[in-house]
Structure 1
Amino acid sequence: MSMYRQLWLSILVSALLALSACLLAALLNARAYLETELARKNHDNAVALALALNRADTDPDDVVVTATALFDSGHYEMVRITAPDGRVLVDRVSRDPDAGAPAWFVDWLPIRSLPGSAQLSGGWTPLGSVTLMSRTRFAYRSLWRTALTMTAAIAVTGLLGGVLVSLVLRRIRRPMQAVVEQARAITEHRFVSIPEPEVPEFRQLAAAMNATVGRLREQFAEDARRYENLRREANFDALTGLANRNFFLAALDQALGAEDSLFGALAIIRLPHLDHVNRELGRETADDMLRRVGRAIGELTPYCAGTYAGRLTGADFGLMLPAGCDAGALMDELMTKLREAVEPVGGRHGEVDIGHGGFMPGENPTRLLARVDAAVAWAQSAGGNRVCEAATDGDPSLPVSANEWRAALRYALHDGNALKLVHHAVRINGDPATHRECPLRIRVREDGDWLPARRFLPLAERLGVIPELDLAALALALDELDADASVAGLWLNLSARSIAEAAFRRQAVDLLERHPDARERLWLEVPESGGLHRLSALRDLGRQLKPLGCHLGLEHYGHHFNQVGLLYDLGLDFLKVDSAFVQGIDGNPGNQAFLSGLCEIAHHIGMRVYAEGVENEAELRKLLDLGFDGVTGVAVREV
């Protein structure tokens, strides 16, 4: 029973007990008063009867007749006349069943009064004595009416008291509920402040909790700024603000090898005469040109969300483009902006060459860079300031047009044997239980190969089929967990586009509610970039999943660390750091400091931190030393 209900009941019961005690005391006082009045009336009536009969000519027969007539009047319970020698001349007792009140009331509050007595005489001759008792029916009736009236008054008073108590407690309940919700939010890794209530006690409590949350946020923000600076120093070019060579190539490796990569093309931008600018116009002019070029490349994101840029060498820049973008049109737009950026240099020094080409998931990064670099060389040999597309080897067995892909994805969704989950080991530090990542595989025809997510995910996103695929994968994962209780956890990817749809969130929750034994072993991951762009949906999903015991986190984390303050009220359970920060971590002091700080911040707000794409034992040992709670990748031994 809730504290509010207990308090309400205790106040109401206390009030009813007090009023009931008042009722009992009033009834007992009323009974005592009626008993006294009846005794006095009995005495007075006996004396009055004796005076009426005390005449000289009165004889015993007159006494009997008078006493009998008096009893027959119905006002007396008992009339008895006793002769001087002890003989009973008249003994009349009422047998009327009407007691004036219910029998139980009469038994509970009996009225006992003394009978009245007086001596009878005829002149100076004693005739005996008279003893009488008035009817108690009238007293009981009066007492019963008093009881009914007071009970009704108590009921009305109790009702009004209950309403008043409810109003008072409601006024108290609102701030109390706000404080409880704040405490619950903290347990769910959501650090929120609340308005201070008017109730003094709750105001002090709310002020203390708000101060604690405020101090935590300030410390969190300070740590975040410090570690963000370390991240940028370790992974970004100081002059242009773009990713440095190592970090960009690590991101390219991740894009080519990740199960759910959304990238589909690579571009290389070259300033072929940068060395001449540096020698002839000075380093300051060259640096200024590089800053303008870096800014122009960085501003490409609004034209195609998700682009990722880096500086490969002094004169070369790399750009990864999401699958589905019109790379040719985008590069033409970029060329226009770049020519504006280098225009102040003028002449032959202001040349820009661009090569770009699509890539297949799993392609060797060295071969990809060589293909695109050859396209840049061709653009330069053709006269410069040109855009050249590298040749791409397609897979003839896969659909080509959007309609073909839509039909193929529909086939995979509706054919019972065209979807499956594959398992990769997850190592949880200090936990020997079995955890598995389970990316989705599909095949687009009955005899086709199983395609990894990176082969169909960009098309599914573009065609709007991804929510259905995510629901199908969720159902497969829950069925696997139900079938094998030895699996401690399955980790499943969800698209940010899927969680943005209220219908998907509702269907996902309904599906989880039908699997109570499996949902607590399910770990759902949303890409960092898409999740942070859909904060409201991510927050709603987190609050819906929390009562179900399901785990929710961000994968590929770290690229938007400057937005770490947004994690305060999302209620996430874990973060998975992108492999671009992990590769070569054993020899990268800058990223070691950054990742150590990231773990510290996440642990302070109750989140676990895992690493993606760990390739060797040295990286694994270093990550565990830095405070990571677990890792995935080829370095994790398959069980």
Structure 2
Amino acid sequence: MAPRTAPAETMRYPHELPPQRRQAVADLALDTFLEMGRAAAIVGTHGELRLVNDAFTELFGGVDGLTARLAKINADVAASGGRLIHEVTLPDGRTVGLEVTPLEQGCLITGFDISRRQQRRAREAQLARTDDLTQLGNRLLFQEQLAERLAEPGHAYPPALLTIDLGRFKALNETLGRKTGDALLRLVAKRICSALADHDVIARLEGDKFAVLQLGQPQPQGSAALAARLIDLLGRAYLVDGQLINISACAGIVVVTPDMIDVEQVMSSADLALSRAKSDGQGSYRFFEAAMDEKMRSCRKLEIDLRRALSLREFSLVYQPQVSLHTSAVSGFEALLRWQCPTRGAVSPLDFIPLAEQTGVITSIGEWVLRTACREAASWPNDHSIAVNVSGVQFAHPNLVKVVMSALAESGLAPQRLELEITESVMLDDQGQSLTVLNNLRSLGVRMALDDFGTGYSSLGYLRRFSFDKIKIDQSFVRGTAHDPAGQAIVRAISSLGQSLGMKTVAEGVETREQFDRVVADGCTDVQGYLISRPLPAGQIASFLDDGIPQL
């Protein structure tokens, strides 16, 4: 069956239709034009309105006074020879978008109010530059406003940028919960605002880090006074949800000089000053100095070399013996990391370990140390233990227990021969995660030692929460005992505590016979230091054990 088609006359162009039908089509078009929801008008060559619909009249609030404007639009269309898009601002402040299409004589104009669209875009732009939590500006807005100030010609007083970081906030946030942490940040924001002048700029950059752009003050006096004021304000107690909370703050300051034209450069300089202030201790502020930038570049180069060192096999391990004072025999060895860099030579662990922890590279390095120490110790005669240091960064890694299990399985080392040394900073976790990891490691048969006891956040609570196998007394107490009664008292107290709790106590850094006699008299159970032996490469362990330790 052939498809049906429309009557022939409906397929003709309007001018081909019979007069009666042509009129009907014209009437229909006119009705459609007049009733369409979008504002529309047909304008003559000289700007005269030939036909308008109600929506057009309503949009413009009448048509009086439009002739000159429409004539200009018509002329623009004629000059361009095509469609145009115009935006017109009305006397009442609204913005109207006009789409203009040329006709044989004049043009067709359709319009719509775009004020709401512009307002919505403005709101979206504002939201994109506002911190949801504090309602301050965010990093994006701050960078834009800083860029504006940097682009301006000379100032009577140079701007100063301060970055402020809160101390202990992360631990408080984890302990008290995010809700309390958010409430605390809002209070911090209010306190910062209370110390600023009206024309100063403030933003929350991220987390517990804020930034202030101080304007119109003599420098560096103005920014120094503001930093001191903020540190004092933020260090005062807060009452949040019925809890009294104390935090501290540090600030980094950079006074903008004429040669500083890059936003990232200025903010990076402030961050460097902030890092130096934090290293000085909470409640400090520091100004940016050129030497800080040089140090940062040096650290960056060191970091690059450090990341390469593992893949290029530049690391090695040496082992320092530990001697039991009860048996006068070697009880085990501590693995110590060494780095021989082709361009730098021997790099001290004091230089690269903190950087490895800061950058997270310590996780990969620490795993290599653990696997290497277990593999090399498995070939030693007898059942001497091997002690491996585990940094706080490693300890927080969720795969630590699996890595230890894998290292033991690959090497064949008996779990009871492996001793993991952690520092007191690991025990600062108040949510019990540290204790869970310690118990999981203990369940493998691995022994645990508390390293550098007495130098950090020492608390007997650590020893109540977990029964360590060994407490290591930091060498600073051991080496100073000859002329340091307080240090000797600390060694004696830790030794007595270890004995009461059934834990061994190892005196580190014993270099002289006098130091040895003192730690023996103070009750230590084991010693470690140059008096016994310097750290040895793995290949010398067997001969060292054959020769025996020096006569003590």
**TM-score range normalised by the length of the shorter chain:** 0.3 to 0.5
Which one has a larger percent helix, Structure 1 or Structure 2? 1
* Greater strand content: 2
Larger radius of gyration: 1
Q: Which has the higher contact order (CA 8 A, sep 6+)?
A: 1
Q: Normalization by structure 2: what TM-score?
A: 0.43
TM-score, normalization by structure 1: 0.37
